[in-house]
Amino acid sequence: AAKDRGGQNAIFYDELHSDQLHEIATIEGQLRKALDREELILNYQPIVDSTGRVSAAEALIRWIHPVHGFISPAKFIPIAEETGLIIKIGEWVLRTACIQHKQWIDSKRLPPFDLSVNVSLRQFLNQDFVEMVDRILAETRFDPERLVLEITEGYVNKNVEYGNHVLNQLKNRGIRIAIDDFGTGYSSLSRLKTLPIHVLKIDRSFIRYVQNDSANASIVEAVVHIGKSMNLKVMSEGVETIEELQFLKSVNCHQYQGYLISPPLPAAEFEARFQEFSLP
Ligand code: C2E
Ligand code: CA
Ligand code: CA
Ligand code: CA
C-alpha cells in the first residue's frame, strides 16, 4: 500500500505494483466525485488543557463511500496530495470547519475554543494558499485568532524561505501554527528556533507506553523542554491510557488529545457530548 514517510504522506509510485496503481486510479476518480456527492464529512476531536478544559477541537476528514463504506484519510489523503485534489478538498475542509465552529460559538451552544485544521504540505506550498485562507475567513467571518493550522515538519527541509514567508503572512493575520507529527520529520532544532510557530504536537508514536518505554519518555521530556525554552505550547496526540496521561502530566505537557478523552466525533455528537470532555 501507499507509504507514509516522515509524516509527509508521500507515495512512491515506483514501489507500487500495477494492482495498487489501479486502486489509486479508482480512488482518485471516486474522490473527485465524493465532494459533490457529499460523501466527505468532518469529525471533531477535543483537545484539553492541563485543567481539563476544552481548549480546541481538531477537524478530521472522513470519507463515507456508498459502496465501500468508511475509507481512512490515511489512505485517501496521500492520493489527494499526489493528484492535486487536496487543494479543493483542503478548501472544503477549512470552509466547513469554520462554518461549523462559528455556529457553535455564535449560537452559544458551546463555549469558545480554538479550531485546529490540518494542512498538507502540497496545500501549504501552493501559491494561492494564503489567498484561499483569506477568502474563507472573510466568507465565513471567522476570527483568525481562533484558528490553528497544523502542518508537518516537511517543508522545513525544502522551500525554507518560501515556507517562512507563508508562515509569517499567516502569523500577521493572527493565525497560529502547530507543527504536527513533531519528531517524525527531520527538521533541525536550530531552524525550528527561527520559525513563527506556536505549538509542537508530539506524534502519537512517542506517546505509546511512554510511562514504560524509556526511549519514548526521553523524547517526550526533551520535546517539552524544547517547547518551554522556545516559548511554544506542547501538545500530546493519541493519549489512550491513564498511565500515559499521568506521565505526560508529570512532565508538564500543556495540552492533551486522544481516545482517553474522546475519539473524533461527528459534529452533532461532539456538541452533545461536549460537557463530558475532560481529563480523567
Ligand atoms: P494526524 O493529523 O496526525 O491526526 C491524528 C490521527 O490520530 C487521526 O487519525 C486521529 O483520529 C487519530 N487519533 C486520535 N486520537 C487517537 C488515539 O488516542 N489513538 C490512536 N491510535 N489514534 C488516535 P485519522 O483521523 O485517521 O487521520 C489520519 C491522518 O490523516 C491525520 O493524521 C492527518 O495527517 C490526515 N488528515 C485527516 N484529516 C485531514 C484533513 O482534513 N486535511 C488533511 N490535509 N489531512 C487530514
Ligand atoms: Ca493533525
Ligand atoms: Ca500524528
Ligand atoms: Ca499528520
Q: How many CB atoms are located within 10 Å of the residue 122 CB?
A: 21
Can you tell me the distance from the alpha carbon of 236 to that of 182, in angstroms, rounded to the nearest whole number? 10
Cell of 194: 527561527
> For residue 6, is pLDDT > 70?
no
Q: Which residues line ligand 1 (CB under 6 A)?
A: 45, 59-61, 72-74, 77, 90, 93, 118-120, 180-181, 204, 237-240, 258-259, 264
> For residue 3, is pLDDT > 50?
no
Cell of 224: 517539552
Is the CB of residue 278 less than 8 Å from the CB of residue 49? no
pLDDT tens track for 85-130: 999 999 999 999 999 999 999 999 999 999 999 999 999 999 999 9
> For residue 159, is pLDDT > 90?
no
pLDDT tens track for 47-61: 999 999 999 999 999
Please give the pLDDT value at position 239. Answer: 98
Please give the pLDDT value at position 4. Answer: 42
Cell of 227: 517547547
Find the 7 Cα to ligand 4 centroid distance in Å.
6
129-140 vs 86-106: helix crossing angle, rounded to 10: 30
Find the 60 Cα to ligand 1 centroid distance in Å.
6
Nearest CA to ligand 1 atom 19: 238
Can you tell me the distance from the alpha carbon of 131 to that of 127, in angstroms, rounded to the nearest whole number? 8
Secondary structure, 3-state, the chain: CCCCCCCCCCCCHHHCCHHHHHHHHHHHHHHHHHHHCCCEEEEEEEEEECCCCEEEEEEEEEEEECCCEEECHHHHHHHHHHHCCHHHHHHHHHHHHHHHHHHHHHCCCCCCCEEEEECCHHHHCCCCHHHHHHHHHHHHCCCHHHEEEEEEHHHHCCCHHHHHHHHHHHHHCCCEEEEEEECCCCCCHHHHCCCCCCEEEECHHHHCCCCCCHHHHHHHHHHHHHHHHCCCEEEECCCCCHHHHHHHHHCCCCEECCCCCCCCEEHHHHHHCHHHCCCC
Can you tell me the distance from the alpha carbon of 170 to that of 166, in angstroms, rounded to the nearest whole number? 6
Please give the pLDDT value at position 175. Answer: 98
Question: Which of 108, 80, 79 is closest to 93 using CA atoms?
Answer: 80
Asked if the interface predicted TM-score (ipTM) of this complex is over 0.95, the answer is yes
Cell of 29: 476518480
Can you tell me the distance from the alpha carbon of 67 to that of 73, in angstroms, rounded to the nearest whole number? 17
Q: List residues, by chain if needed, whose CB lies under 5 Å from ion ligand 3.
A: 181, 203
Find the 182 Cα to ligand 4 centroid distance in Å.
9
What's the distance, Cα to Cα, between the start and end of the chain in Å?
37
> For residue 148, is pLDDT > 70?
yes
Is the CB of residue 175 less than 8 Å from the CB of residue 116? no
pLDDT tens track for 252-269: 999 999 999 999 999 999
* Closest approach atom of ligand 1 to CA 80: 44
Q: Which residue has the higher pLDDT, 17 or 8?
A: 17
Find the 174 Cα to ligand 1 centroid distance in Å.
25
Nearest CA to ligand 1 atom 3: 181
> For residue 8, is pLDDT > 50?
no
pLDDT tens track for 204-238: 999 999 999 999 999 999 999 999 999 999 999 99
Find the 72 Cα to ligand 1 centroid distance in Å.
9
Please give the pLDDT value at position 27. Answer: 84
